[in-house]
Amino acid sequence: MKIAVVGTGYVGLVTGTCLAETGNQVICVDINEQKVKMMQAGQLPIYEPGLEVLFNRNINESRLLFTTNLAEAIAEAKIIFLALPTPPGGDGSADLSYVLGAAKDIAGLITDYKVIVTKSTVPVGTADKVTAVLKANTTVECAVVSNPEFLREGVAVDDFMKPDRVVVGTMDERARKLMGELYGPYVRQGNPIIFMDERSSELTKYAANSFLATKISFMNEVANLCELVGADVDMVRRGIGSDDRIGKRFLFSGIGYGGSCFPKDVQALEKSAAENKYDFKILNAVMDVNQIQKKVLVEKMRGYYKDGLKGKKFALWGLAFKPDTDDIREAPALYIIEELLKDGATVVAFDPEGMPNVKKLLGDKITYAENRYDALNGADALLIITEWPVFRTPDFDFMKEKLKAPVIFDGRNLYDLERMKEYGFYYNSIGRKV
């Protein structure tokens, strides 16, 4: 099938590449000339495990092309994916100007039936708005489909190639058929393509992310209570997760959810409820809990250092909002760094992928270490912020030599309590005994 993907951000690029991988002819279009040139030369502008191999293969086999010319991209495409940004506007609701602007441009260019698919996370009612823009600007018949993505950064290729489900929202029969054909190869194992109306599909995306964020905030509150009553959240997690109705995944307490999706989507769903005069109480609580949780590690430190944090030096392992990504958007690390600097401490950080992005944002407000151990030199304590695999089995004896004091504040519960005691560390984690 011939496909165009408008927007080559994270979602667009993964979508385009993975669609080419099953034999479709894909053209990705972006207004950023420099980025397009880079991709044409076979360079990936983002870090995503497993993507590079597919990207290079499909470029080499001429199934994946890049252009800045929208007309050229959509001329032969049957299906046009819109993977454009929908940043939160000033009032917290998603800004649709990119999506609606692209719909208008497309309307001015098409001469035959097209299926226009919104892949970006967009508020309920957006498909209707896109349809209205198309109708106002062309008489050519076209269908609008809502097809939210459920990709996780770090495992996006796998999530695309083997999705738990594909959600397709449209009432246009022709479009349903085409979308079913397009996604067929990805659900061969029997996972469903769930067809529904546009509004239900749009809401599904927000409900999924908000539910997951709720799960995390719930567990973070359980962890906080564990500390007060002398229970261990890891035990509680295993105890409840074995119930199929609850599930083992996404129950890890920590220092709050971050990233470009959960914070934005929970806020947007609450906002959209409020606009419809519905008070979505749980979502307000989820957001409040998350705000508090991002600072929980610093609060622990403030309690530990009776003389305050001023003049102390702290090593941070991890900056990215989660492992296997260089993404630092809404990363708990940024909130923690802000608090530490506010209290007059200095920070030395190490992250396998996240340092360049933090450097761009914070410059020399903190220092950056060459490797995980160098970060520890003379530091008063180590803070574990992101659970990169490389932090899981370090040389604890060597760490003790490097640190000024054997103190670890762990926001991700990486280590066994008993072992840390044996090694002689003061070890303070989340929802477990100190």
| Residues with Cβ within 8 Å of residue 48, at least 6 apart in sequence | 10, 14, 153, 154, 156, 157, 325
Q: How many helices (H) and strands (E) does the chain have?
A: 17, 14
| Of 21, 30, 48, 153, the one binding ligand UGA by CB under 6 A | 153
Piece of 21-29, 246-254, 298-306, 419-427 that binds ligand UGA (CB under 6 A): 246-254
Q: Which residues pair with 409 in a beta bridge?
A: 383, 428
Closest listed residue to residue 56, CA positions, set 6, 20, 11, 8: 20
Decide if 142 is catalytic: no
Q: Which residues pair with 207 in a beta bridge?
A: none
- At residue 117, the 3 state secondary structure works out as strand
Structure tokens at 261: 């999706």
Rounded to a whole number of angstroms, the minimum distance from the CB of residue 82 to ligand UGA is 15
Closer of 153 and 351 to ligand UGA (Cβ): 153
| Of 262, 314, 317, 335, the one binding ligand UGA by CB under 6 A | 262
Is 294 assigned to a binding site?
no
Structure tokens at 137: 């600007």
Q: Give yes or no for residue 152 binding ligand UGA (CB under 6 A).
A: yes
Q: In what order do the strands lie in the sheet with 426-428?
A: 367-368, 346-350, 313-317, 381-384, 407-410, 426-428
Contact at 8 Å (CB) between 44 and 6? no
Piece of 183-191, 225-233, 247-255, 393-401 that binds ligand UGA (CB under 6 A): 247-255
Closer of 27 and 216 to ligand UGA (Cβ): 216
The C-alpha atoms of residue 84 and residue 4 are separated, in whole angstroms, by 13
Is 30 assigned to a binding site?
yes
Residue in this structure with the two tokens 């001429």, named with its chain if needed: 62
Question: Which whole-number Å values give the CA distances from 170 to 98, 146, 182, 191, 194, in the listed order?
Answer: 21, 7, 15, 19, 11
Is 152 assigned to a binding site?
yes
Q: Give yes or no for residue 334 binding ligand UGA (CB under 6 A).
A: no
Is 35 assigned to a binding site?
yes
Q: Please list every residue from 304 through 323 that binds ligand UGA, using CB under 6 A.
A: 321-322
Piece of 174-182, 226-234, 255-263, 278-286 that binds ligand UGA (CB under 6 A): 255-263
Count of residues that bind ligand UGA according to CB under 6 A:
20
Contact at 8 Å (CB) between 94 and 129? no
3-state secondary structure 1-56: CEEEEECCCHHHHHHHHHHHHCCCEEEEECCCHHHHHHHHCCCCCCCCCCHHHHHH
**Would you tell me how many other CB atoms lie within 10 Å of the CB of residue 73?**
24
Q: Give yes or no for residue 431 binding ligand UGA (CB under 6 A).
A: no
Closer of 143 and 354 to ligand UGA (Cβ): 354
Q: Give yes or no for residue 218 binding ligand UGA (CB under 6 A).
A: no
| Of 117, 151, 236, 320, the one binding ligand UGA by CB under 6 A | 151
| Of 206, 257, 409, 427, the one binding ligand UGA by CB under 6 A | 257
| Of 15, 118, 209, 210, the one binding ligand UGA by CB under 6 A | 209
Rounded to a whole number of angstroms, the minimum distance from the CB of residue 363 to ligand UGA is 24
Residues annotated in the binding site, as ranges?
Answer: 30, 35, 86, 121, 150-153, 205, 250-254, 258, 264, 322, 329
Annotated catalytic sites, by residue?
Answer: 261
Q: Which residues of the chain form contacts with ligand UGA (CB under 6 A)?
A: 121, 149-153, 209, 212, 216, 250-252, 254, 257-259, 261-262, 321-322
